[in-house]
Amino acid sequence: MAEEKKSRWNGFSLRRRREMPEGLWMRCPRCEHMLYKSAVEKNLNVCPECDHHFRIDAATRIKYLADEDSFQEVLGDLTTTDPLGFKFRGTTYKQRLKADQKKSGSKEAMRIGKAFIKGRGVILSVMEPNFLMGSMGQVVGEKLCTAVDMAMEEKLPLVVVSCSGGARMHEGVVSLGQMAKTSAALAKFDDAGGLFISVLTDPTTGGVTASFAMLGDCIVAEPGALIGFAGPRTIAETIKVELPEGFQTAEFMLEHGFVDEIIHRKDLRSEIARIIDYCQK
């Protein structure tokens, strides 16, 4: 009996187990598999089980799209003012800006510059979802218009990657004015014969969808991206109608003619290069 008791507890220790380091694992919101984080990152931040495309920050997006060390950023230090003296639930707009600058590592919700994609020169504009959810304020509008001017001046294609919650409420009508401003700049670009490739990622919504994101000569999207003006829940509650399955996904938009092509993240560089070559710009 003593021998049996001894063997039963053999190897047992009261010493505290070594805890697993945080940040090694992540859960996919679509298939709910637990994924090894480094494996997801090696797969371009796409779930290896179900192909769900995770949101990525602007720096990572530039790394995936542009040829190595080719991105030359402009207006990287441009920051917004506080035109309305905005406050919400005891927090000022200026406090929120500082917090998101620290969190995202970016001064604003868009980065622009000249780059090469598979050897093709482009003006690249990428939105930063970690900065006030990629919302469009006066700086985003100014940066996009500057990118358009650069593309016209250097006769290069313009590639814009959208990832946004829409117009920035903190700037009110100043923010809404950027919709008209960016649309007018792109109309000028079109008159000059420029090529504008718009890349829609998850999510592309609100005033960004209602302005520059949907004005591309070629509009492409990542699989499963949410694309629309108001969100599906808001629409359903407003019109009291059950929405179709997959409403406002990239696939739904492709089926209804709002998107030209859905491109997997691993193929995006090659497809953009192919579009540029096909359009001979």
Dihedral angle over CA of 43, 48, 54, 56, nearest 10? -10
CATH number at residue 243: 3.90.226.10
Please state, as a whole number, how many other Cβ atoms lie within 10 Å of the Cβ of residue 239.
9
- In angstroms, the CA 200 to CA 45 distance is 16
Q: What is the pLDDT of residue 17?
A: 56
Tokens coding 179:
């919709």
Q: Are 35 and 66 found together in one domain?
A: no
Task: Calculate the alpha carbon distances from 161 to 34, 47, 56, 187, 232 in Å.
Answer: 29, 21, 11, 18, 22
Q: Phi/psi at 162 (nearest 5 deg)? A: -95, 140
Cα dihedral sign, 124-227-191-146: negative
pLDDT of residue 6: 47
- What's the N-to-C CA distance of the chain in angstroms? 86
In angstroms, the CA 129 to CA 264 distance is 19
| 147 and 176 fall within a common domain | yes
Report pLDDT for 280.
Answer: 75
Q: Which of 275, 273, 266, 200 is CA-nearest to residue 64?
A: 266
Which of 30, 54, 78 is where one domain is finished?
54
Of 28, 54, 80, at which residue does a domain stop?
A: 54
Query: What's this model's pTM, rounded to 2 decimal places?
Result: 0.90
Q: Report residue 59 CA to chain centroid gap.
A: 11
Note whether 44 and 173 are same-domain residues.
no
Interatomic CA distance for residues 37 and 24, integer angstroms = 5
Residue 135 is assigned to a structural domain of this protein: yes
Question: What pLDDT is stored for residue 89 in this prediction?
Answer: 86
153 and 42 co-located in one domain? no
Which tokens is 121 given?
A: 């020169």
- pLDDT for 13 equals 54
242 by DSSP, 3-state: which?
coil
Asked whether the beta carbons of 107 and 77 are under 8 A apart, the reply is yes
- Beta 196-204 vs 218-221: how paired, if at all? parallel
The range of the structural domain enclosing residue 114 comes to 55-279
23 and 77 both lie in a single domain: no
Other Cβ atoms closer than 10 A to 229: 15
Counted domains in the chain:
2
Same domain, 172 and 35: no
In a domain, 13, yes or no: no
pLDDT at position 10, please? 54
Task: Split the chain (281 residues) into runs of 10 and give each run's mean pLDDT.
Answer: 49 55 86 96 97 98 98 97 90 96 96 98 98 97 98 98 96 97 98 98 97 98 96 88 91 97 98 95 50
Q: Give the whole-angstrom CA distance, residue 280 versus residue 258.
A: 23
Same domain, 94 and 50: no
| Residue 18 pLDDT | 56
